Structure 1
C-alpha cells in the first residue's frame, strides 16, 4: 500500500497539480495585493476620497461601560466591505483576463495537420467511379 501511494504521488499529474496550486496561491496574493494596494486607492480617489471599507449602516450602537470596555458590540451592515469585494472581483477578473490574453498571444499557435490522403481502398473506389463515369 505504501508503494502504491508513492507511485501515485510521483506521477506527473499529481506533481503538476501541486505546482499549479502553489503558483495559483502566489498569483492570487499578487493580484489581491494589486487590487488592495493600487486599485482600491485609485477607485476611492475618483469616488471623492471615500474608503468603501468604512461605509456601514449601524443597526444598534455599541454599548460602552464606564471603564471603557465594550459591553455590547456595534451591530452594523458593512455594505462598504461588500462593495470592496465586488470591485476586487471585477478587478481580479480583468487582470486574469489580461494575463490569459497575453499568454495566448505568446503561446505558439500550432498549425493544424493537413488532412490525410485517401486510403488505398478509397483510391480504388475513386478509380472505379471514374471508370464508370467515363463509360456513360
Structure 2
C-alpha cells in the first residue's frame, strides 16, 4: 500500500495540484492586502469615507457583517479576474492544436449498392 501511495503522490498531476494550492494560498494573502489596504480605502473615498468593514446590523443576538461580505465579494472578483487573465495568457503561449485530419471519404451508398450488385451478378 505504501508503494501505491508513493506512485500516486509522485504523479505529475498531483504535484502540479499541490503547487497550485500553495501558490493560491500565498496569492490569497496578496489579494487580501490589496482589497483591505488599497481597494476599500479607494472605494471609501469615492463613496464619502465609508469603511466597508464596519457595515452591518444586528437583530437580537445575531450580527450581520455586510461589510465583510462586500470585502469577500471584492476579493473574489479580483481573484477571478486575475485567474481569467492568467488562463488567457497561458492559452496564448500554448501551441494551438491542429484539428485532426478528416477521415478519407468512403464510397457513397449508391457506389456500395453498385458494387454489391456487381458481386451478385458474378455469382
TM-score by length of 2: 0.65
Structure 1 residue runs of 4+, over 6 Å off?
A: none
Question: Unpaired segments of 5 or more residues in structure 1?
Answer: 61-73
The CA RMSD measured in Å over matched residues stands at 3.1
Secondary structure of 1:24's partner?
helix
Residue 51 of structure 1: how far off its partner (Å) = 0.9
Question: Unpaired segments of 5 or more residues in structure 2?
Answer: 115-123
Q: Which has the higher helix share?
A: 2
- State the alpha-carbon separation in 1 of the partners of residues 94 and 30 from structure 2: 22
Q: 1:28 to 1:106 in 2, by over 3 A?
A: farther
- State the alpha-carbon separation in 2 of the partners of residues 95 and 17 from structure 1: 18
Q: 1:100 to 1:53 in 2, by over 3 A?
A: same
Which of residues 96, 100, 104 in structure 2 aligns to 1:113? 100
Q: 1:14 to 1:42 in 2, by over 3 A?
A: same
Higher relative contact order (CA 8 A, sep 6+): 1
Q: Deviations over 1:42-67 (max 9, x none)?
A: 2222111211112233567xxxxxxx
Aligned residue pairs total 112
- State the alpha-carbon separation in 1 of the partners of residues 41 and 13 from structure 2: 41
Preserved contact between residue 35 and residue 88 of structure 1 (Cα < 8 Å): yes
Match of 1:84 in 2: 71
- State the alpha-carbon separation in 2 of the partners of residues 31 and 103 from structure 1: 21
Match of 1:37 in 2: 37
TM-score by length of 1: 0.60
